Structure 1
Amino acid sequence: MKLIQQCKLFFREGNSDKVYEIDLCKLTNGEYLVNFRYGRRGASLKEGTKTPASVNQQEAEKIFNKLEQEKRTKGYQTEEEINIPLPVLNHLDKNTLEGRILLRLQDAVENTQSFKTTWKTSRVIWKAGELGITKAAPYILKLASKGDDFQLYASIWAFIQLKTVEAIPFLKTAALQIKQKDHVRWLAYEGLFQLMEEGEDLNEIKRKCFTLLPETLQEVIKEGETNATFHFYSLQIEQKLALEGFSAFYLLSLFNPQWNKGIQAIIEQIPFIPPYFKTIRSLYKLAQIRKDYTILALLSYRLEKEDPMYTRRASLDPDGYPTHQYINSIGEYLNIGKELRGKNSRVAFSHNTKYYFQQNSVTHLIQLGTQKDGKDYIKLAINQLLQYTEADYTAKIKQPPQQYGMYSYELRQYLFTSIEYAECSKAYLLSSILFGNDSTRMLTPKLELIHSKTYEVSDKWYYNVNNVRPYNPENKATKKESKEEKGLLSTLKNFFSKKETIVPETISQPESTLTEVSQRTELYPEHWDAYPEAYIQLLMMGKMNLIHQFAFDRLQTHANYDAIKKRFSLEDIIQLLQNPFEIPQKLGYQTLENRKQEFEKLPNYMLLLLNVSHQPTLTWASRTISFNRSFYLENAEALIALLFNNQEFLDTWIIEQLEAIRFNEATTKEIVEQTIQKLILLTDTPAHNILAKKTIQRLKIVAKNQLASLHPKIISYLLEAPLGMNALLASEIIALKAQANENIPISLCVEFIQNPLQEVRYIGLDLLQKASEIDIQTHWNTVLTLLQHDTAMVVQTVLNLGLRPSLASQLQSTWIQIVQTLISKPAFEGSHSFIINQLEAYKAHLQYLEPNYLLQVLFANYRDVQIEASLWLYAYPKTNTFTLRQIIALAESELLAVRQWVWQYYENNIERIKKEKERALSLVDSKWEDTRTFAFQFFRTQFEASDWTTETLISLVDSVRDDVMQFGKELIMRYFTEAQGHQYLIALSQHPSEVIQLYVSNLLKEYATDSPEKLEQLDFYFRSVLFRVHKGRITKERVLDFLIAEALKNEKAAHYVNGLFSYLSATSALQDKARFILALSQIQDCYPQMDSCLILNS
């Protein structure tokens, strides 16, 4: 058994002096035990175990940490902690803030009360850490585990602030405790990372922290896939999943600075809603304690700019009212207090939380500003100002009075208010930094900055400039107003007004280096002047004119301004000139004026000046280079810089320079190679495409002949590159090759035509039209795909090519593609009409259009296409190749012209119609009434008795359409013969129509008399007729008379009729039932031996 970890804890209070030892031991089989010993110090210790059976390592560590935490909660400490002597407070000055803090801590340890007022212990501990009172550390060590979670959190925070190395064992326990709250755990890890020295112990803590990351992320990090790491968290945000382990990931970034940019990118996209906001709060405090001013500034900026999730109006008190509030983003009424106390709260970041963080950010800035060395203040202030962009700027504006006034019961008039908002009124942090000493600014309860409020009163409820008069609030109104709006300077001072602060020593600076600061509006101007390089950083990296103006004004009035300008490197000057804002450019040009000779000696720097956006600089640089072109543009590198220059101001000048220079072949070849390499590496952005277009035009001037001789592989590289504009260079090269009589593949021409760039399409079309007839014929199917192009010019070109004599053998393929294009969705607006207009010459070649493709166009989903196809139909030379099924399908067309063509076809092809009459008869079932009318008339007049068969006529009667059924009945009656009577009787008896059933009743006596077998064949007919209620009375009477007559003539028939009537008598209406009973009695009288359902009374 091997000892892996041991913890010795001691408890000393009064006469009690106890010890508690905990061992984590490893067995030979890889299992673990947790044993303990306890007793009085110096005496024999009793032994015990927390693991009756061995457990795995994870479970053992959990038991070990839990046991240690239990003992610490009861007051046990390590030997180092318990032996830290408490400071002697006998000569303590109780009138100082430090003395009062120490005395309150002593009271908390000894459970005494030296003051009339009571402070929470956690508040005292936090204040001790805030003020840097190192003497408080022993007290805090004894109090850390004896209170609530906030007392523990405040103690850890104080240990980090006071750099209490003796607290490392305590921090380990807090960090490794399994059931520890996350915000406490993360702060404990941060304390360990800051206080522990490099070594195996620190590496072990790193490994413990690393295990808190998701397993997937651990594997990605071990593989070194940094981008995949950030993709993991970006994906979690997209899928609205909690950022598991992101706080631990941020903690470990202290040892992995390459993660910092990725972490910033993730923070920029984290939404301020559950379940992300807990992570935001944790990161904010960690960044504060770590002095990670980049992350802290970013979080502070977002906390200021993000809209709150909701404005809380509900009470958090369970007994308060109201407790519920409707949350728009969720769409429900929620108990806000209960929701916030829940583990998986659905609400976060209320307006109160937003205001708290805004005020906390300003408070933290001021705390840094009160330090002796203002370096931390300047670092945070710079990072904070760099977050703002010109989009955040709001001008000074006076809001006019509301249209409707607010009635004042005190004045008995309507009150109208006008507010004058300050510059950047909603940027509280920016205003605090740049205008913290501006007494004219007042802070509203919503943390907005205003200059003044003016009031007007009127007897009218609506605002009318002629009916209002000024009003100066006095007495209560003035007092109330003074509470609501305070000067920004007094507000900032009031953060410490109730607390005694330690006055920092004045920063010792030579008198000559400091400017007069009494009239300056920014907070802590002495710190800014002590670090003038901060102004330079703001000018170079700032993204707001207001910030540039502040930095430029302060820099110009600085005592060492001239010396500072002399320290600028040439790179610094170029960076200022490249800045898109006017003020940095102005400073850069002022500096350049005194350093021109240095630039003129260095061609590379002169070429860099051609990339700035400052026109005076461009004018001077271009003129200087023109005067000495051979010096500045002597090598390929300089010329490539000109090719890739993106300043529109210099476009004409660059063309002039390139046309004036004569290049040797070696230089030209190098220019071409390096230019193409750079173009291939560019990403596909709008800016890069504009630059590439210019570069390609310039490259043609420099190396037209060399481009024509490039290897075809270069073309494929350009086409495969991500930058879309590279296709233009590829097409230009191919065009040059074509001019040199090289054979260009048709597939490449088509690829160029399909390119989204107009210039590339034009080149592709030109190349296609100049291609050889044999190549076009061989690859015609490839060319035909261009008929579905989204450009009219391309479609027209292809259609014109299709009419070439050399492509006559391809007309069938051409028609097929035309049809596919016309029945497909239009490639551009009016594309179908455009193609139709281009097809006039193709109508002479309709014989190459197959019937099934013509039908596809006739039934297209587009009206103009159908109309055009109907014209083709009348001119179509192969109508005899249509099947009758296809012709009948055309009869269903919505176009009358197409239906008329079908009628005409029937009239002109009577013999075919008669030959295929079974199929041709389908015309009578058309959905169009005009077609059915034509069909009825056609078959009446053109067909004779010999053209009809019994089956054909019966099929007409079986139609579901009434008019078709009547037509069939008409024909049967016209062409009826005695020989067909029996067949008609049996077949038509199955018809459900009353009309047909009535007609069948006429056939009964003639074709069913004296034939009992036929009665059973007609069973469906009899039942259908006799079951009808209040319908078909004539038919029913005829059937009854017929059946009774047959039953009385023949016993076999009587058996059938007896069974049928017996069934019907039990189900029929009263009127028919009497008739059935009478008939049954007649049958029984005639055949007494036959069974009957009737019981006759004598």
Structure 2
Amino acid sequence: MKLIQQCKLFFREGNSDKVYEIDLCELTNGEYVVNFRYGRRGNALKEGTKTPASVALADAEKIFGKLEYEKRAKGYQTEAEVTIALPILEHIDTTSMEGRILLRLQDALEGTRSFKTSWKTSRVIWKAGELGIEKAIPYILKLAHKGDTFQLYASVWALLQLKAKEAVPFFKTTALQIKLKDHVRWLAYEALFQLTEEEAILEEMKAKCFSLLPETLQEVITEGNTSAIFTFYTIQLEQNIALEGFVPFYLLHSFNPQWSEGIQTLLQTIPFRPPYFKAVRSLYKLAQVRQDYKTLALLSYRLEKEKAMFSRTASLDPDGYPTHQYITSLNKTVNVGKELRGATSAVGFSNHTKFYFQQNSKSYLIQLGEKKDGKAYLSLAVQQLLQYTMADYTAKYTETPPYGQYLYDIRQYLFTTIEYAECSKSYLLSTILYGNDPNRTVTNKLELIHNKTYEISDRWYYNAADVRPYNATTENTEKKEEKGLLSTLKNFFSKKEPVAPAPITTSISEPEEVEVTRKALFPEHWDAYPQAYVQLLMDAKMDIIHQFAMEGLQVHPDYGAIKAKFSLEHVVRLLQHSFEIPQQLGYELLTTRKEEFIKNTSLLLRLLEVTHQPTLDWAKEQVENNKTTYCKEADALIALILNSQPTLHDWIITLLNTLTVNDATAKTVVEKTIESLIVFENTPTNSVLAKQVIQRLKVVAGNQLALVHPKIVSYLLEASLPMNALLASEIIALKAAQETIPVSLCVDFAQHALPEVQAIGMELLLKVSPTEVVKHWNTILSLLTHSNKTIVATVVQLGLQDYLASQLQSTWIQLVHVLISQPQFEGSHAYILSLLEPYETHLDQLEPNYLLPMIFANYRDVQVAAASWLYRYPRTSEFTWRQVLALADSELLVVRQWVWQFYTNHVAKVKSEKEKALSLVDAKWEDSRQFAFEFFSTQFEASDWTTETLISLVDSVRPDVMQFGKQLVMRYFSDAQGHQYLIQLSQHPSEVIQLYVSNLLKEYASQQPERIVALDYYFRSVLFRVHKGRVTKERVLDFLTIEALQNEVVAQYVNGLFSYLSATTALQDKARFILALSQIQDQYPHLDSCLLLNS
């Protein structure tokens, strides 16, 4: 037995000093047991087991963890935790916050009460962690398992904040206890990863965390394929599946920094609703304790900007009212409290949750700012500001409601005009930039305003001419307090703010009476680390943030020294910025360092990429005045060729035309430019740039393009940007002068999406030799499906060339395929048909199998054209009867008339193959059937018909065809076939035919018992009819009765038939059956009968 894992726990309280040891042991491969020992310390321990039978490792670990957690909940601790001495509080200063917290923790542990007010233990523990009271660690360790889940969570959080390395065993137990809430376990894992110093424990817990990932993801991570990792999660998002194992994945991110960009991308798109929001909450808290400010800032931004899933109006208390609420996004009413408490809740991120996270984000920011060292605050503040873009900007505006609020005490309508501040809906941005602004207040919706103005009117709608100032006290109109951004969270809604009664507005005093102060929150931190201003100028995407950063730099006492520290690279980045303020700073720096840029060719040429016009003009001037200096090297030429500034294209072309470039430099330029083009991403901007680059490259090194290796051309064709094919096609066109270009490559160019490449492809194709055209004609025919009508016309006309006469059949096949397929451009079918007039002299090359699909195409113009060809088609004799009969069902009358003409012109063929030709009588169209009736009535004589043929007509499901068949049977009836007619027509279900058969019974079945018995189906079909076929039924009854009285065999058959019918049929027929049965019994008394005759 091999010991795999062991845990020793101790319990010491009063006189009690107990030990509990747990062992996880391996018996054989794949078989494990969990044993335990317990007793008083120093005495012999009793032994036991939790696994009567061996179990798998995963199950053994669960049992081990559960047992350890149960003992910890009862107060057992590791030896290190037990031996931690509690602080002596005899001389503690209970007037200090630290003293009060420690005393409250002692009260919680000993069950005493030293204060009048009662705090929840979890609150005391959390406060100890917030205040960094290290003396509280022993208390927290002992209290962690003596409360609810939140007390345990608070204990883990507080111990992590206090960097309590002695709590590592506690963290490990908590992390491995699978029955705990996930958010508690995740926090315990994070605490372990931050505080564990033993490499073995750290690796073990990393492996445990890794095992929580999906197996597929584990395999991908093991392979080291970072892109595939995030493809896994992207697919789950697209399929609306919960991100399995995403929080453990984030926990492991601290050991895998290469995942950072992918995690940020996922967090930008993850929906804030179930089943994803639970993970978002965990990530938010983990990012705080990990100080992952980039992730925290992104989540805080999205929590501020995302719309809540629902506005909760229902009570979460099971005994409250109402407990149910209609959720629009779910389109149903749910018990909100019960749903939120469920493991798979369908609701989440309510307005209350959104409000909490917004306030928590602000509180955490302020907590960081209140520390002496502002690095952490600035790190988060900068990351937070970098989340905002101009799409989030809202200008200052004033809003007056169109309808007033009725005040019963004065019988007037009150109108409240609100002046909203700039960026009023960006709460965190306003907190950072304007946290000290006395002119801003925050509403209960976390919107920033400057003031409110109250007016009243007799009318319920607002009219500026009718309103007047509201002179009464406004305290009755203020339902909730509004305070400055620095108001504490504790008192956010706790009291009313008194308002002076008389003024019209609640605006702040005049500006000249207010002392000018820095509006930013914690400006001293910004001054201590001015590089934060620089980062905002470099990376922020909002004018108001740039303005804040620029103003902060300009008033900084070291502004001059800071400017001197900017490198030339930083200056270029500022000038390349898309916002004006960074550009202005960059230009200011440029004007003082022009000489340095003049000496640096690569940086000077990069200035030609900027959008700042003065910079652009200066850089152009320098290049024009020093062409030999700046344009002689290949790298300089490449920089000009790849320049992405759209306004400089014509200037660059003009400049390049003035240069003379040697072959060696031109070759280098071509190679490196193509390398750059190949890696361009497929975007509209890159397509435009690539086209311009190709034009410039032809100017500088056009003579070198024909020398490009074919392998390089293939790379251009395979690149993700389609515009690269333009350069490839032009290179091939230049090569065509010296070598033969494959037809397949010409076709590939012609099929390209770019019109320029298509034109080159067709130009090359028309230069191909006739021999090659014939050889690859089927490949060329694929161009008939092109969306460019010019290319289609070229191919159609090319097909009539004399050297392609042997390929006409293939041409027809492809033309038919195109004409019966979906049009490639508007009017494509009509256009192609207009080109086919010369082809009509070659209809003999069109197979019948390909003409019919055109007649039955889904497009009328194609049908009409094919119908006209049908009358001139020289191979109609090759049509099969199946094809001819299909034409008889055509929607076009002209096609059906052709079929009639075909029958009229081929009478001998019709007679010789009448079994197939007769199917015309079952045609879908009535006019075709009428023609068939007339044709077969007049053109066929008695010798042309057979009994089987006539009967097949009678067997038709169409009434008119059946009637036609009956007329022919009557016309050409002969006694020799009477019995055959009787047998075969008797199986027909039609009443009309059954009546006709009744006429044949006496002649062809009388006195013939075997024939009568063979007609059993007919007799039952007639006699079982209800209220139908009375004449037929009477004839059959009379016939069977007479025949039964004349022949005992028939009598036996009829006796059984009538006995069955007499029990199931109507009263009228039952009398007839009974009469017949009595007559049969009289005639043949020895036969069994269902009748009991009374004498």
Query: So what's the TM-score if we normalise by structure 2?
Result: 0.89
Q: 1:545 is matched with which residue?
A: 543
Letter in 2 for 1:879: T
Equivalent-residue separation in structure 2 for 1:634 and 1:20 (angstroms): 85
Equivalent-residue separation in structure 2 for 1:33 and 1:1055 (angstroms): 88
Letter in 1 for 2:964: F
Residues 787 and 798 in structure 1, CA contact (< 8 A), matched pair in contact too: yes
Alignment of 1:241-320 (within 5 A): 241-320=241-320
Equivalent-residue separation in structure 2 for 1:552 and 1:434 (angstroms): 13
Residues 945 and 975 in structure 1, CA contact (< 8 A), matched pair in contact too: yes
Equivalent-residue separation in structure 2 for 1:66 and 1:1045 (angstroms): 96
Residues 234 and 266 in structure 1, CA contact (< 8 A), matched pair in contact too: yes
Instruction: Give the 3 Å change call, closer, same or farther, for CA 854–195 of structure 1 in structure 2.
Output: closer
Q: 1:675 is matched with which residue?
A: 673
Aligned-residue offset at 1:569:
0.3
Letter in 1 for 2:897: Q
Instruction: Give the 3 Å change call, closer, same or farther, for CA 108–897 of structure 1 in structure 2.
Output: same
Aligned-residue offset at 1:1035:
4.8
Q: 1:372 is matched with which residue?
A: 372
Aligned-residue offset at 1:1040:
5.9
Aligned-residue offset at 1:83:
5.7
Residues 844 and 875 in structure 2, CA contact (< 8 A), matched pair in contact too: yes
Letter in 2 for 1:227: S
Letter in 2 for 1:421: Y
Instruction: Give the 3 Å change call, closer, same or farther, for CA 236–87 of structure 1 in structure 2.
Output: same
Q: 1:870 is matched with which residue?
A: 867
Q: 2:131 is matched with which residue?
A: 131
Residues 1008 and 1014 in structure 1, CA contact (< 8 A), matched pair in contact too: yes
Alignment of 1:578 onto 2:576: yes
Equivalent-residue separation in structure 1 for 2:990 and 2:63 (angstroms): 90
Equivalent-residue separation in structure 2 for 1:591 and 1:939 (angstroms): 103
Aligned-residue offset at 1:624:
0.6
Alignment of 1:933 onto 2:930: yes
Aligned-residue offset at 1:896:
0.7
Alignment of 1:405-554 (within 5 A): 405-464=404-463, 468-472=466-470, 474-475=472-473, 477-481=474-478, 483-490=480-487, 518-554=516-552
Q: 1:625 is matched with which residue?
A: 623
Match of 1:768 among 765, 770, 791: 765
934-943 or 145-154, which deviates more = 145-154
Q: 2:828 is matched with which residue?
A: 831
Residues 480 and 493 in structure 2, CA contact (< 8 A), matched pair in contact too: no
212-221 or 661-670, which deviates more = 212-221
Instruction: Give the 3 Å change call, closer, same or farther, for CA 171–517 of structure 1 in structure 2.
Output: farther
Deviation readout 1:575-596 (Å, 9 max, x if unpaired): 1111122221121111111111
Aligned-residue offset at 1:435:
1.4
Aligned-residue offset at 1:1067:
6.0
Alignment of 1:702-713 (within 5 A): 702-713=700-711
Letter in 2 for 1:625: V
Equivalent-residue separation in structure 2 for 1:82 and 1:684 (angstroms): 64
Q: 1:505 is matched with which residue?
A: none
Residues 418 and 454 in structure 1, CA contact (< 8 A), matched pair in contact too: yes
Residues 34 and 60 in structure 1, CA contact (< 8 A), matched pair in contact too: no
Match of 1:744 among 741, 744, 747: 741
Equivalent-residue separation in structure 2 for 1:132 and 1:1092 (angstroms): 110
Instruction: Give the 3 Å change call, closer, same or farther, for CA 835–455 of structure 1 in structure 2.
Output: farther
Deviation readout 1:107-144 (Å, 9 max, x if unpaired): 44554433322223332332233223344445445544
Match of 1:698 among 696, 699, 707: 696
Equivalent-residue separation in structure 2 for 1:1060 and 1:974 (angstroms): 35
Equivalent-residue separation in structure 2 for 1:660 and 1:999 (angstroms): 105
Instruction: Give the 3 Å change call, closer, same or farther, for CA 456–873 of structure 1 in structure 2.
Output: farther
Residue ranges of structure 2 left out of the alignment (5+ in a row): 496-513
Equivalent-residue separation in structure 2 for 1:60 and 1:559 (angstroms): 66
Instruction: Give the 3 Å change call, closer, same or farther, for CA 425–884 of structure 1 in structure 2.
Output: same
Equivalent-residue separation in structure 1 for 2:167 and 2:1006 (angstroms): 120
Residues 38 and 45 in structure 1, CA contact (< 8 A), matched pair in contact too: yes
Equivalent-residue separation in structure 1 for 2:171 and 2:1057 (angstroms): 102
Equivalent-residue separation in structure 2 for 1:1080 and 1:73 (angstroms): 96
Deviation readout 1:586-636 (Å, 9 max, x if unpaired): 211111111111100011111111222222222211221111111111111
Q: 2:119 is matched with which residue?
A: 119
Alignment of 1:892 onto 2:889: yes
Letter in 2 for 1:961: R
Q: Secondary structure at the match of 1:447?
A: coil
Equivalent-residue separation in structure 1 for 2:1071 and 2:147 (angstroms): 103
Match of 2:564 among 557, 563, 566: 566
Letter in 2 for 1:667: T
Q: 2:966 is matched with which residue?
A: 969
113-122 or 487-496, which deviates more = 487-496
Instruction: Give the 3 Å change call, closer, same or farther, for CA 554–977 of structure 1 in structure 2.
Output: same
Equivalent-residue separation in structure 2 for 1:1044 and 1:49 (angstroms): 101
Instruction: Give the 3 Å change call, closer, same or farther, for CA 164–872 of structure 1 in structure 2.
Output: same
Alignment of 1:956 onto 2:956: no
Instruction: Give the 3 Å change call, closer, same or farther, for CA 635–118 of structure 1 in structure 2.
Output: same
Q: 2:506 is matched with which residue?
A: none
Letter in 1 for 2:449: I
Residue ranges of structure 1 left out of the alignment (5+ in a row): 499-515
Instruction: Give the 3 Å change call, closer, same or farther, for CA 809–126 of structure 1 in structure 2.
Output: same
981-990 or 708-717, which deviates more = 981-990
Instruction: Give the 3 Å change call, closer, same or farther, for CA 253–198 of structure 1 in structure 2.
Output: farther
Aligned-residue offset at 1:85:
5.6
Q: 1:610 is matched with which residue?
A: 608
Aligned-residue offset at 1:57:
7.1
Residues 443 and 491 in structure 1, CA contact (< 8 A), matched pair in contact too: no
Aligned-residue offset at 1:412:
3.0
Letter in 1 for 2:599: K
Q: Secondary structure at the match of 2:862?
A: helix
Equivalent-residue separation in structure 2 for 1:255 and 1:1091 (angstroms): 99
* Number of aligned residue pairs: 1073
Equivalent-residue separation in structure 2 for 1:408 and 1:129 (angstroms): 50
Residues 823 and 861 in structure 1, CA contact (< 8 A), matched pair in contact too: yes
Equivalent-residue separation in structure 1 for 2:1036 and 2:200 (angstroms): 112
Q: 1:591 is matched with which residue?
A: 589
Alignment of 1:715-754 (within 5 A): 715-738=713-736, 740-754=737-751
295-304 or 333-342, which deviates more = 333-342
Instruction: Give the 3 Å change call, closer, same or farther, for CA 481–1041 of structure 1 in structure 2.
Output: closer
Q: 1:665 is matched with which residue?
A: 663
Q: 1:901 is matched with which residue?
A: 898
Instruction: Give the 3 Å change call, closer, same or farther, for CA 927–633 of structure 1 in structure 2.
Output: same
Letter in 2 for 1:408: L
Deviation readout 1:372-426 (Å, 9 max, x if unpaired): 2222211111111011112122222223423x44443334344444433222222
Letter in 1 for 2:620: S
Q: Secondary structure at the match of 1:381?
A: helix
Residues 309 and 348 in structure 1, CA contact (< 8 A), matched pair in contact too: yes
Deviation readout 1:829-885 (Å, 9 max, x if unpaired): 322222222212211211111112111111112222111111111121222222333
How well do the aligned residues superpose, as a CA RMSD in angstroms?
3.6
Q: 1:714 is matched with which residue?
A: 712
Residues 574 and 585 in structure 2, CA contact (< 8 A), matched pair in contact too: yes
Aligned-residue offset at 1:291:
2.1
Aligned-residue offset at 1:4:
7.7
Deviation readout 1:893-932 (Å, 9 max, x if unpaired): 1111111111222223333333333322222222211112
Residues 915 and 949 in structure 2, CA contact (< 8 A), matched pair in contact too: yes
Residues 436 and 492 in structure 1, CA contact (< 8 A), matched pair in contact too: no
Equivalent-residue separation in structure 1 for 2:318 and 2:592 (angstroms): 72
Residues 363 and 495 in structure 1, CA contact (< 8 A), matched pair in contact too: no
Deviation readout 1:449-474 (Å, 9 max, x if unpaired): 223333444444445555x4135274
Letter in 1 for 2:667: K
Q: 2:100 is matched with which residue?
A: 100
Equivalent-residue separation in structure 2 for 1:272 and 1:153 (angstroms): 23
Letter in 2 for 1:433: I
Query: So what's the TM-score if we normalise by structure 1?
Result: 0.89
Q: 1:20 is matched with which residue?
A: 19
Letter in 1 for 2:120: K
Instruction: Give the 3 Å change call, closer, same or farther, for CA 205–495 of structure 1 in structure 2.
Output: farther
Q: Secondary structure at the match of 2:45?
A: strand
Alignment of 1:846 onto 2:843: yes
